[in-house]
Amino acid sequence: MTNTTNGHPPAPARTFPFRSAPLPASPGAPDSWPDRASRLRDQADALGALIREDLSRGRAIVFLLCAGLVTLTVGMVPAMVIDAAGSETGVSTDVAVETALGVVMLAVLAVPALLVLRALRKRSVQRFELLRQWAAVDRGHDAEFPLRYGTQGYPHGRFFYAAPVLLVTLILAVALLADLSDPTDLVLLPCLVVAGLFAWAPVKKYAGRYSWSSRERAVRARADRRELDRAQRRDCP
């Protein structure tokens, strides 16, 4: 059963994105609650806390900053080396200096950003698993389920924000590959590939979240219909 305070799982406090509050514990067996009312309360609190963190604007900003740093570094380092090698006064010393500077940029900017992104990804996987576990605790007709992953049949807005970025990135990558008249432009290809991968991440995440949320809503809608049918049969003379 979850860690509770006066029968409720503790709501995560607002903290700096790099120092997040602990996630709610995994739920126990349904009969580990003293009554169904407390089980529904704990379920609603846990799902609300998990979804608030999952849709946190702070986490989205941290993801964008780190993705931007990695993409910028991947694009700048090859460009610097190729520019030094192709310049009229280019010598091996200049190429070595630019290469060393590129390595420093990778170590100072890209590697820490990748570590933060890895931590965000790991926590996101844990959070989604807890969401599925808590949603399955009780799917009765009166079990509250937060509807924050989509309204009126549409996924969360961040799905649409990332999708155009991914589309534009793919178009630019195809254009670069199709026009090989200036091979130096191909230095942008790694940058576009990385940008496309980062754009695909929220598309995949929110598509999966919305699909799961839709299935949960369908289960609860069937429970509502069954309860309504039972109530109508009871009322029939």
- Three-class DSSP category at 47: helix
Cβ neighbours around 185 below 10 Å, total? 12
Residue 161 buriedness (CB in 10 A; 0-12 / 13-18 / 19+): middle
**Amino acid at residue number 103:** V
- Three-class DSSP category at 151: strand
Cβ neighbours around 112 below 10 Å, total? 13
Structure tokens at 219: 């289960």
Model confidence at 124: pLDDT above 90: yes
Q: How confident is residue 128, by pLDDT bands cut at 50, 70 and 90?
A: very high
Model confidence at 177: pLDDT above 80: no
pLDDT of 100? 79
d(CA 149, CA 210): 6
Residue 191 buriedness (CB in 10 A; 0-12 / 13-18 / 19+): buried
**Domain layout of the chain by residue ranges:** 30-140+157-235
H helices of 87-187, in order, are 92-105, 111-135, 157-178
What is the chain's length?
237
Tens digits of per-residue pLDDT, 33-76? 888 899 999 999 999 999 889 888 888 889 989 998 898 888 88
d(CA 21, CA 10): 10
190, 124, 61, 10: CA torsion to nearest 10: -170
Tens digits of per-residue pLDDT, 72-118? 888 887 777 776 666 655 566 666 776 777 778 888 888 999 999 99
Could you say which DSSP state residue 27 is in? P
Q: Please give the model's pTM, rounded to 2 decimal places.
A: 0.76
pLDDT of 219? 85
- Helix (H), strand (E) at residue 155: strand 154-155
